[in-house]
Chains A and B, each alone.
Chain A
Amino acid sequence: MDVLNGLLNGFQTALSFQNLYLCFIGCLWGTMVGVLPGIGPLAGITLLIPATFGLSPTGAIIMLAGIYYGAMYGGSTTSVLMNVPGESASVVTCIDGYKMTLKGRGGAALFISAWGSWIGGTLSIVGLMLLAPTLANVAMKFGPPEMFAVLLVAFVLLGSLGSGSFFRTMPMVFLGLLIGTIGMDPLTGSMRFTHNVHELYDGIGLLPVAMGAMGIGEILFATEETLVKVIHKIKFRDLWPTRPELAASWGPIMRGSGIGFVIGLLPGSAHVLSSFVSYITEKRLAKRPEEFGTGRIEGVAGPETANNAASGSAMIPFLSLGIPTGPAPAVMMIALLIHGIQPGPMFITKHPDVFWGLIASMYIGNVMLIILNVPLVGIFVSMLRIPFRILFPVILLICLIGTYSVNTSSFELAILLGFGIPGYFARKIKYDIAPLILAMIIGPTMELSLRQALMRSDGSFLIFWESPITMTLIGASALLVLWNIYRALRPTAASWEKALEEGT
């Protein structure tokens, strides 16, 4: 077997002392940048590129990849404990994760998310190893019409994300989509809603909005009443998930692995999209979907698994074609180029040592990460014992540094603060802000792919009915809409209002 041989050789490479050490440094560094809000895998990798100049190419990519998938482990920490999304991929984790912390189950949420991350991460490496060249070709089939169809499904699902009613969620979704259109229109160069402010030309950054509306909003809300008392009392035995919690998270973890792996192949914000599709899937499948948003373990297990699975498959187009689908793989590709290695269709045959060394190191790295992260859960959770009136200035400061560091600009801080205020009021009157943020993510790509598709087909909508992929996806979203209407209409006239209230 080719794969077996390759893998054995890979393990030989990866288990050398130096490569093990580099893998560990990468994972540790990744966990750290993942935990710190705002400083994501991209910044982490970019900062360490100069350090890789003196290394072997295999060692360099092992370390950088470690940062990349390691950051997804750390991302859930601040989301669960403080409602501050550590990465944009962890926005969804905030919804149920933070509620679990308020109930005193924060430790369990973090434990399950580490566990799910490990399974999702490992399964996606298996997929990467066995299917890389095949899947890369499938990914190339994804043109604008297919991309639009995927996002259409996501859009239809968005309405059912919030914990409130469907009608309460929809304005948030539209507002988020509208915010996403700010900046230069990529297809015509027209400026939209920029009012000659140059900082707005590239649109409003996602992370400042997410951290502001969710994190800062939550801090402002919490300082209202709970300043003097310790907010969360946590006993040590509460750190571990209970048997029912473990049992309930099996399904989400397995489904999350699959969802994350498939969506990770798509270009753009695959991590965010995968976590959010996983969340909605779990909500749809749940016996009591109305309990989502109140602290269900399924709402943490699924998304956190999915975003780790996406890290594995996001490396497929980059390794087997040399086409990075996101900024972090793009930086890794440059690191390989610096060492004179060209990722591309010939990469696996020309440099089997690098490819298999990387694959093997990813298995090892994921094991290191779970060993690293489980004790960290205890440490981070016990940080909540620090009085909140000392903790909150520190969290604020970290949010500010993280936001500033992305682009060294005070403008992003103004956005952070500017969205913190509405976030605070939304929190106060129990409006869900997550749908707005997710709409901001899918909006620009959705518009772009729709318009690109129409430009290519010369204005014919038939382009969306040409490939089996688009047919299936558009059929699915139509069915979802019909199902929503049916659920709304099914009850008698007397309970009509009530049905709307509960939403879909």
Chain B
Amino acid sequence: MTNDRAASLLFLASGAYGLYFSVQLPMGTWNQPGPGIFPAVLSFLLLLSGAAWFIRGKGKQRAADEGGRRGAIAVAKNLATPLKIVGLTALFVLSFNLVGYLLAASLYLFILLLWVSRYGIAFSAVLAGAIGLASWIFFGKILAVPLPQGFLPF
């Protein structure tokens, strides 16, 4: 399966989802257009363009769309690092309302530097602490941006 086909499946799925839920909404009349009509038409067009793309995605190799025709294997390659980052970020978001911004952010930076960037423990800890504190002062205190607070005052 080519990348284009995989992408078109996503479009088809979104179109089907959109159509399924929008036909349940009132369509209204010409002088009182309802909430369903616009999303329903869009979902239909999305399905149509997705289908067209699915069929075309089968074609032979062409230079212009080289990226799209690379096999699915290339896309699945090198997923480890991005996966780590996404997971860590999710953990950070989940934890900062509990332990507060300063602690959560410093820890988040520390693990990123240690595990993803592969710096030494001491260097990572110092840098993470410094950036965490600096961002807390800059955003929270100087810019007065609301930062998440945990049970601690910072």
Q: In the complex, is A directly touching B at CB under 8 Å? A: yes
* Residues in A lying within 8 Å of B, measured CB to CB: 33, 36, 39, 43, 47, 164-165, 167-168, 170-171, 174-175, 177-178, 181, 185, 187-188, 190, 192-193, 219-221, 223-225, 227, 389-390, 392-394, 396-398, 400-401, 404-405, 408, 410, 413-414, 417, 420-422, 424-426, 428-431, 447, 450-451, 454-455, 457-459, 501-502
Cβ-closest chain A residue relative to B77:
A224
Complex Cα distance, B70 from A410, in Å, reads: 36
Interchain CB contact (< 8 A) of A420 among B43, B64, B86, B109: B86
Is the CB–CB distance between B97 and A410 below 8 Å?
yes
Q: In the complex, which residues of chain B have a beta carbon less than 8 angstroms from the beta carbon of A190?
A: 25-26, 34-36
Interchain CB contact (< 8 A) of A397 among B31, B56, B108: B108
Interface: B61 (CB within 8 A): no
A459 and B31 in contact, given A397-B105, A404-B147 (Cβ under 8 angstroms): yes
Is the CB–CB distance between A188 and B35 below 8 Å?
yes
Is the CB–CB distance between B67 and A429 below 8 Å?
yes
A188 and B34 in contact, given A181-B42, A227-B116, A389-B116 (Cβ under 8 angstroms): yes
Is the CB–CB distance between B93 and A410 below 8 Å?
yes
Interface: B99 (CB within 8 A): no
Interchain CB contact (< 8 A) of A224 among B68, B82, B90: B82
Cβ-closest chain B residue relative to A417:
B89
A168 and B145 in contact, given A393-B117, A414-B93 (Cβ under 8 angstroms): no
Complex Cα distance, B93 from A410, in Å, reads: 7
Known: A33-B143, A178-B15, A414-B93. 12 other contacts (CB 8 A): A174-B42, A178-B46, A187-B33, A389-B117, A389-B119, A393-B116, A410-B148, A424-B82, A454-B30, A454-B33, A455-B31, A455-B33
Interchain CB contact (< 8 A) of A178 among B18, B28, B36, B70: B18
How many B residues touch A, CB cutoff 8 Å? 71
- Would you give the 0/1 interface string for B10-49, flagging 1 where the beta carbon is closer than 8 Å to chain A? 1100110010011001101111111110110011011001
| Cβ distance A446 to chain B, nearest Cβ, rounded Å | 9
Main secondary structure, interface of B, reads helix
Q: In the complex, which residues of chain A have a beta carbon less than 8 angstroms from the beta carbon of B118?
A: 389
| Cβ distance A314 to chain B, nearest Cβ, rounded Å | 24
| Cβ distance B151 to chain A, nearest Cβ, rounded Å | 17
Is the CB–CB distance between B8 and A224 below 8 Å?
no
Cβ-closest chain B residue relative to A46:
B144
Is the CB–CB distance between A390 and B113 below 8 Å?
yes
Cβ-closest chain B residue relative to A425:
B75
In order of increasing CB-CB distance, the 3 nearest A-B pairs are A430-B67, A459-B31, A459-B30
Is the CB–CB distance between B22 and A192 below 8 Å?
yes
Cβ-closest chain B residue relative to A452:
B33
| Cβ distance B15 to chain A, nearest Cβ, rounded Å | 8
Is the CB–CB distance between A171 and B49 below 8 Å?
yes
Cβ-closest chain A residue relative to B56:
A167
Cβ-closest chain A residue relative to B82:
A220
Cβ-closest chain A residue relative to B94:
A410
Q: In the complex, which residues of chain A have a beta carbon less than 8 angstroms from the beta carbon of B143?
A: 33, 36, 39, 47
Cβ-closest chain B residue relative to A223:
B81
Q: In the complex, which residues of chain A have a beta carbon less than 8 angstroms from the beta carbon of B25?
A: 190, 192
Q: In the complex, which residues of chain A have a beta carbon less than 8 angstroms from the beta carbon of B18?
A: 178, 193
| Cβ distance A273 to chain B, nearest Cβ, rounded Å | 19
Interface: B146 (CB within 8 A): yes
| Cβ distance B52 to chain A, nearest Cβ, rounded Å | 6
| Cβ distance B78 to chain A, nearest Cβ, rounded Å | 4
Interface: B85 (CB within 8 A): yes
Q: In the complex, which residues of chain A have a beta carbon less than 8 angstroms from the beta carbon of B89?
A: 396, 400, 417
| Cβ distance B9 to chain A, nearest Cβ, rounded Å | 11
Cβ-closest chain B residue relative to A193:
B21
Is the CB–CB distance between B82 and A401 below 8 Å?
no
Complex Cα distance, B89 from A404, in Å, reads: 13
Interchain CB contact (< 8 A) of B139 among A168, A178, A405, A425: A405
Is the CB–CB distance between A396 and B85 below 8 Å?
yes
Interchain CB contact (< 8 A) of A168 among B21, B65, B74: B65
Is the CB–CB distance between A421 and B86 below 8 Å?
yes
Is the CB–CB distance between B38 and A447 below 8 Å?
yes
| Cβ distance B28 to chain A, nearest Cβ, rounded Å | 8
| Cβ distance B90 to chain A, nearest Cβ, rounded Å | 6
13 contacts between A and B (CB under 8 A): A167-B52, A177-B42, A188-B34, A192-B25, A223-B82, A223-B85, A396-B112, A401-B145, A404-B148, A417-B93, A429-B75, A451-B33, A455-B33
Is the CB–CB distance between B92 and A458 below 8 Å?
no
Complex Cα distance, B53 from A431, in Å, reads: 13
Q: In the complex, which residues of chain B have a beta carbon less than 8 angstroms from the beta carbon of A389?
A: 113, 116-119
| Cβ distance A486 to chain B, nearest Cβ, rounded Å | 20
Is the CB–CB distance between B8 and A171 below 8 Å?
yes
Is the CB–CB distance between B65 and A501 below 8 Å?
yes
Is the CB–CB distance between B32 and A455 below 8 Å?
yes
Is the CB–CB distance between B39 and A394 below 8 Å?
no
- Would you give the 0/1 interface string for B131-154, flagging 1 where the beta carbon is closer than 8 Å to chain A? 100010001000111111000000
By CB atoms of chain A within 10 A, which of B4, B30, B97 has the most?
B30
Is the CB–CB distance between A394 and B131 below 8 Å?
yes
Cβ-closest chain B residue relative to A38:
B145
